[in-house]
Amino acid sequence: MAVFAIGDLHLSLGTDKPMDVFPGWKGYKEKLERSWNALVRPEDTVVLAGDTSWAMKLEDTGADFAFLQSLPGRKLLLKGNHDYWWCTKAKMDRYLEQQGFTSLAILHNNSFSVEGMALCGTRSWLFDAGQPHDEKVMNRELGRLRMSLDAAGDGEKVVFLHYPPLCSNAQAPEVVAVLREYGVKRCFYGHLHGTAIRYAVQGMRDEIEYRLISADALGFCPLKI
């Protein structure tokens, strides 16, 4: 069983929010479907690092989730800043079961064990160089990250975030501190698009490997980790 990751699919099959208007996104759904089917097997796991659907309410995610259900592999969804449909985990779990989306699961205050790895994650929170971030929201996200890491077993703790914990000219030191505290060696994140991709930190930084996995940064091809 292999593990893949990709973020920021921004699916809009049930709403009028086309991403094709942005440079580099033309025909992205077809590109994603083609590469996904070529790489991912039914027994594999794919982590979706937030901003999965443009739906405003959970019940409006049906078309987007049906598309994901049609793709091979188990999909683990974490929250992004544009996932307005996100609600309580209990309600989302119940909805997925009722709609028959059996290959979709929610990564939120928990972790999943796959091939000796503990897949952990949360949305995290934004930061801007020289600007204070929302301390209350950041502390809440740090708590969720800790809960996810605490739920991990003895395997390698691999962390997935929506917001980048650092970029070329700034960082969220609280998030990085938690990664180091729990001995995390690999962290994957999304959120950055277009020209912002050039500011992504890729590779080793203070003994942690970082990788940007937003869909357009990956050419709409899930990354095997």
Reduced to 3 states (helix: H, G, I; strand: E, B; else coil), residue 74 is strand
**Residue-level pLDDT at 111:** 97
**Quick one: what percent of the chain has pLDDT higher than 70?**
97
**Residue-level pLDDT at 24:** 81
Pairing of β 203-205 and β 208-212: antiparallel
Residue spans per domain, the chain:
3-224
Reading the block at residue 22, the tokens are 């942005």
- Average pLDDT value for the chain: 93
d(CA 22, CA 28): 10
**Mean pLDDT, residues 64-90 taken together:** 97
Q: 149-196, pLDDT tens digit by residue?
A: 999 988 899 999 999 999 877 788 899 999 999 999 999 999 999 888
**Mean pLDDT, residues 90-118 taken together:** 97
Lowest mean pLDDT, pick from 77-86, 134-143, 165-174, 205-214 = 165-174
> Helix-strand-coil percent breakdown of the chain, rounded to 5?
30, 25, 45
**Residue-level pLDDT at 128:** 58
- What pTM was estimated for this model as a whole? 0.94
Q: 9-21, pLDDT tens digit by residue?
A: 999 998 888 787 7
d(CA 71, CA 46): 10
**Residue-level pLDDT at 127:** 67
d(CA 168, CA 104): 34
132 falls in which pLDDT band (50, 70, 90)?
low
Pairing of β 74-77 and β 45-48: parallel
Q: Where does 3-224 sit in CATH, by number?
A: 3.60.21.10
Reading the block at residue 38, the tokens are 């070529």
Lowest mean pLDDT, pick from 5-9, 21-25, 38-42, 70-74 = 21-25
